[in-house]
Structure 1
Amino acid sequence: MQTYYLIRHCEATGQAADAPLTPQGQKQALLLADFFKSIPVDRIISSPFRRAYDTVFPLSTMYDCPIELENQLQERILSTSSLNDWRSDLKATFSDLNLRFPGGESSREAMKRTSSVLHEAFLHPARHTVLVTHGNAMALLLKSIDSNFGYPDWEQLRNPDIYRLVKNSDGLTCERLPFNTQTD
């Protein structure tokens, strides 16, 4: 049996690759490490974006486990052009997986990219792996596992959020874990 923890990064100051965590996000990262105190961690794989790396850094330090940076976990680019109603456009990409906006990535492409990391992790001997990514990338990875995961589920994601995936001889199970994101 192998267990994977799919984590959406903590609260950040923005969407740029180098956007740091907010002070609240820094507190959340410490709470996240505390959440994992009784959960074994053998391997940590993170998006190279600063907010993802900073989210898992306290956990990495606690377990003395190096963070492997993986470009395939970076956030999905919906478009490089300004969109009039990006939320409506994003919603449409959950129905039409091949829909692609200028300079962007289709949902199908993002699902293939992010799920490749999970499939590589299936082949690794680590039994407890943490994968840190971003909201839309996480939602599409979860959609690649469960085709019913959709836009309303993406809307419900929090910063941070945690899903546990368990792979055994019966297949793959997925569940959202309760995590209190409030630090005050």
Structure 2
Amino acid sequence: MTNLYFVRHAHSIYTPDEWERPLSEKGYIDAERILALIQPDSIDVVVSSPYKRAVQTVEGVAEYFNREIEIFEDLKERTLTGKPAEDFTEAITKVWEDPNFAWEGGESNIAAQARGVKVIHHLLEKYEGKNVAIGTHGNIMVLIMNYFDKRYDFSFWNGLDMPDIYKLTFDGDVLVGVSRLWER
């Protein structure tokens, strides 16, 4: 079995720069708790989105297990729109209602899901039988989970915490179990 630990990034300080947005003070405190929740299992590999907040969220895990963080561009958060949405709730609802729809300059659910799932298939093949921690984001994480099990949808995304941790267990490339590790 291969275990993928999807770690949604902790709270960050909002800046319009998606790449360099750092964790907030609360985010750093919560990120420290992540290790305690994952620690009963040994982590063999740590990968992350290139966004600073995702990397910072799994840095403690990587340091504890003495692992380098592999960066995967295609694990970055989905691009909702090319410019800030006037009404975020309306914009995000629309793309989940119509998986093929994309706002100008943004990605559809189908496009974002395809790039994320491609990375997951790569990880499942390369690290079969290993435990892999993944620094990620809410939307792309749920889109990936949705590919393997349709129960993970918009309402599931709406209920996520920041951070949040989901352990997905795979037999080959078949999802056989999901458990939530994050505790408020």
With normalisation by structure 2, the TM-score equals 0.92
For residue 32 of structure 2, the aligned residue among 30, 33, 57 is: 30
**2:53 is matched with which residue?**
51
CA–CA distance in 2 between the matches of 1:98 and 1:138? 18
Q: Does 1:141 align with 2:144?
A: yes
Asked whether 1:154 is paired with 2:151, we answer no
User: 1:9-88 alignment to 2 at 5 Å?
Assistant: 9-14=9-14, 16-88=18-90
Instruction: Tell me whether 70-79 or 143-152 shows the greater mean CA deviation.
Output: 143-152
Q: Report the alpha carbon displacement of residue 164 of structure 1 after superposing the two structures with TM.
A: 1.2
Aligned-partner residue type, residue 9 of structure 2: H
- Bigger CA drift: 26-35 or 109-118? 26-35
Deviations 1:3-51 (A, max 9, x none): 1111100111125221111111111111111222211100011001110
Provide the C-alpha distance between the structure 1 equivalents of 2:141 and 2:68, rounded to a whole number of angstroms. Answer: 22
Change (3 A) 1:130 1:112: same
Give the paired residue count.
Answer: 181
| Larger mean Cα displacement after TM superposition, 124-133 or 103-112 | 124-133
Letter in 1 for 2:5: Y
- Aligned CA RMSD, in angstroms, stands at 1.6
What amino acid is aligned across from residue 62 of structure 1 in structure 2? Answer: Y
Deviations 1:131-164 (A, max 9, x none): 1111111121111111232211111011111111
**Deviation readout 1:33-80 (Å, 9 max, x if unpaired):** 122221110001100111000000011110001100111110111001
Paired residue secondary structure (1:40): coil
Q: Against the structure 1 CA distance between its residues 139 and 169, is the aligned structure 2 distance closer, same or farther, given a 3 Å change threshold?
A: closer
Please state how far the C-alpha of 1:174 moved relative to its aligned partner.
3.9
Structure 1 residues 160-179: aligned runs within 5 Å? 160-168=163-171, 171-179=174-182
Q: Percent identity?
A: 27
The answer to which of 73-82 and 46-55 deviates more is 73-82
Distance in 2 of aligned mates of 1:56 and 1:151: 25
Q: For residues 25 and 72 of structure 1, what CA distance do their matches in structure 2 show?
A: 23
Aligned mates of 2:160, 2:127 — CA distance in 1: 30
After TM superposition, the score normalised by the length of structure 1 is 0.92
CA distance in 2, matches of 1:82, 1:88: 12
Please state how far the C-alpha of 1:177 moved relative to its aligned partner.
Answer: 1.3
- Seen in structure 2, the aligned counterparts of structure 1 residues 19 and 6 have a Cα distance that, compared at 3 Å, is same
